[in-house]
Structure 1
Amino acid sequence: MSSEPETSGGTGGVDETDDRTLTTLGGAGDTAEVPLKVSGLEKHFGGITAVDGVEFEIDKGSMTGLIGPNGAGKSTTFNCITGTHKPDGGRVEFNGQDITGLEPYQVADRGLVRTFQIARELGEMTVLENMMVAPKHQRGEALWRSVLPYARNSVNQQEQEILERAWETLEFFDIDHLANEYAENLSGGQRKLLELARALLTDPQMLLLDEPFAGVNPSLEERLLEHIHELRDQGYTFLIVEHDMDLIMENCEKVIVMHQGRILTEGTPEDVRNNEDVIEAYLGGEV
């Protein structure tokens, strides 16, 4: 098994990598000022109500945390937004379009991309191969373009561009030295880096991160946070589900708290930290 990647030393290397990534990825592009709106979202499993009328909005270019005790409905809300679950009620809008109930690939195709608590890499493929399959609308996916000589040139050109972007993104996350390693051999932290790197190659406008720091050692957690902040500075919007309340409070400008399938409160970290209902939900024996 490969070891955890070492932190890059010196500020010079970081600046050079940032410049390459800004040029290659081009930031998150133009989006609505409130790209994600969730209204009256509901999800039931038999007689259990997992999500009960959830409503919130996410501002463009923001980093928002979604927290709550175990079983609060956070991941189910994520699943309903991104199409993994079909909601039983309510509406999800992204950039002014109704995406309620769309398939996951359709949601991702519109620029709303998620990661998972347990990384879902393609284990029998190398890290670089995992990256190469991520970009959407690849010309080589059409059989006729793959076999006709005049069309093959455009396929080759696009594949070369994707390869360059893949390498630059791996460099940005400091895992380019693992490019030829099989993904199944990566450590848990390295898999989290790969999943986030792969998500960026889909040209997202907004990223929903489900427990991105779970099982990650402290040094790699710090690096992940640095990368997320750098991407936010480039214009990407983040909604992060996380159990570590302190981590969310220290890194997000807005916090949404769920409890028993509903929104308990939302506001600045300071407002949420001092909210008596939040204190009761976390410390009142229901964690």
Structure 2
Amino acid sequence: MSESPPESSDAELADQTTGATRRSGGDFPLQVEGLRKEFGGITAVDDATFQVEAGSLTGLIGPNGAGKSTTFNCIAGVYTPTDGTVTFQGEDITGLEPYQIAQRGLVRTFQIARELDEMTVLENVMLAPRDQRGESLWRAVTPGVRGSVVEQEAAVRDRAWEMLEFFEIDHLAQEYAGNLSGGQRKLLEMARALMTDPEMVLLDEPLAGVNPSLENKLIDHIHDLRADGYTFLFVEHDMEVIMNNCDHIIVMHQGRVLTEGSAEEIRSNEEVIEAYLGEDV
């Protein structure tokens, strides 16, 4: 796991709900400005602008067709925006490939898990870290270099076991990923994402298809990771989960950001209510 964040300064606020330390004063690693995505004559995202605060669990919600998934895909590099910019840690990442964005510390999970079914759970997790020396054939066979490859592989294996233990799926380490339940796959996907040592994680409906027992476990893990300094942007259709767990919520409607605020503010916002009821805003 990542090192614990430094002790709070006077400029930081302790979140009483999760125990996490949130920075005040405009520390926003992810900034989306004027984002637009067109598919032929259809505009899926229309001038979306928002930012995500460091150390936060931020929800991104909206009725079906609001543009949430397209926005996620533009941020993660799956789609190239038609217009607008995505900035991460002060760097313009607009239009970069997904692996380039992941290398900068911004990773995502998927609504439908994408594990390698014919590899074991442990192998799936060990495969995630980038720049492994063993991936280079000449390094693996060159005397003097081979030793460092073995050392790195041992370190990766140790960390993989730590991840499996954290997500409580270490008992499945030698099971093929294709044999896992939907909920177990979501836990494995989170473990793989965290093995890349990211700064921020985009969660695309991480609770879809997960039974209530594993759902609670996954939410608890997300809060633990947030307390350890991770930042999350969270797309989820279960409004109860969003309202009870996110400290900031962004609402999209018809490709635009309709409003944003705390759970209490979103619950009482008439425009949000109308949007979810399918009425004109």
| TM-score, length-scaled by structure 2 | 0.91
Q: Please provide the CA RMSD for this pair.
A: 1.5
**Cα distance change on mapping 1:56 and 1:88 into 2, 3 Å:** same
**Are residues 1:212 and 2:212 paired?**
no
The 5 Å alignment of 1:76-115 reads 76-115=70-109
Question: In structure 2, what is the Cα distance between the partners aligned to 1:185 and 1:284?
Answer: 40
DSSP-derived class of the 1:25 partner: coil
Unaligned runs of 5+ in 2: 7-22
Q: How far apart are residue 27 of structure 1 and its match?
A: 5.2
Aligned length: 262
1:21-53 CA deviation, whole Å, 9 max, x = no partner?
Answer: xxx432589x99210000001101111100000
Which amino acid in structure 1 is aligned with residue 2 of structure 2? L
Bigger proportion of residues as helix = 1
Q: Which runs of 4+ in 1 moved over 3 A?
A: none
Q: Counterpart in 2 of 1:154?
A: 148
Question: In structure 1, what is the Cα distance between the partners aligned to 2:279 and 2:53?
Answer: 33
| One of 55, 75, 78 as aligned partner of 1:61 | 55
| TM-score, length-scaled by structure 1 | 0.89
**Are residues 1:280 and 2:257 paired?**
no
1:229-249 CA deviation, whole Å, 9 max, x = no partner?
Answer: 000000000000011112101
Q: Counterpart in 2 of 1:230?
A: 224
The 5 Å alignment of 1:1-287 reads 24-26=1-3, 33-284=27-278
Task: Decide whether the 8 Å contact of 1:92 with 1:99 is kept in 2.
Answer: yes
Task: Decide whether the 8 Å contact of 2:2 with 2:228 is kept in 1.
Answer: no
Identical counterparts, % of pairs: 68
Q: Counterpart in 2 of 1:19?
A: none
Which amino acid in structure 2 is aligned with residue 264 of structure 1? L
Q: How far apart are residue 147 of structure 1 and its match?
A: 1.1
Question: In structure 2, what is the Cα distance between the partners aligned to 1:158 and 1:133?
Answer: 12
32-41 or 179-188, which moves further after superposition?
32-41
226-235 or 241-250, which moves further after superposition?
241-250
Q: How far apart are residue 142 of structure 1 and its match?
A: 2.0
Question: In structure 1, what is the Cα distance between the partners aligned to 2:90 and 2:192?
Answer: 26
Question: In structure 1, what is the Cα distance between the partners aligned to 2:262 and 2:90?
Answer: 25
Q: How far apart are residue 143 of structure 1 and its match?
A: 2.2
**Cα distance change on mapping 1:28 and 1:190 into 2, 3 Å:** farther
Question: In structure 2, what is the Cα distance between the partners aligned to 1:25 and 1:196?
Answer: 14
Q: How far apart are residue 210 of structure 1 and its match?
A: 0.2
Which amino acid in structure 2 is aligned with residue 173 of structure 1? F
Task: Decide whether the 8 Å contact of 1:112 with 1:204 is kept in 2.
Answer: yes
Question: In structure 2, what is the Cα distance between the partners aligned to 1:40 and 1:119?
Answer: 30
Q: How far apart are residue 65 of structure 1 and its match?
A: 0.2
DSSP-derived class of the 1:229 partner: helix
Which amino acid in structure 2 is aligned with residue 185 of structure 1? N
Question: In structure 1, what is the Cα distance between the partners aligned to 2:51 and 2:158?
Answer: 35
1:68-116 CA deviation, whole Å, 9 max, x = no partner?
Answer: 0011110100000000011110000000000000000000000000000
DSSP-derived class of the 2:33 partner: strand
Q: Counterpart in 2 of 1:5?
A: none
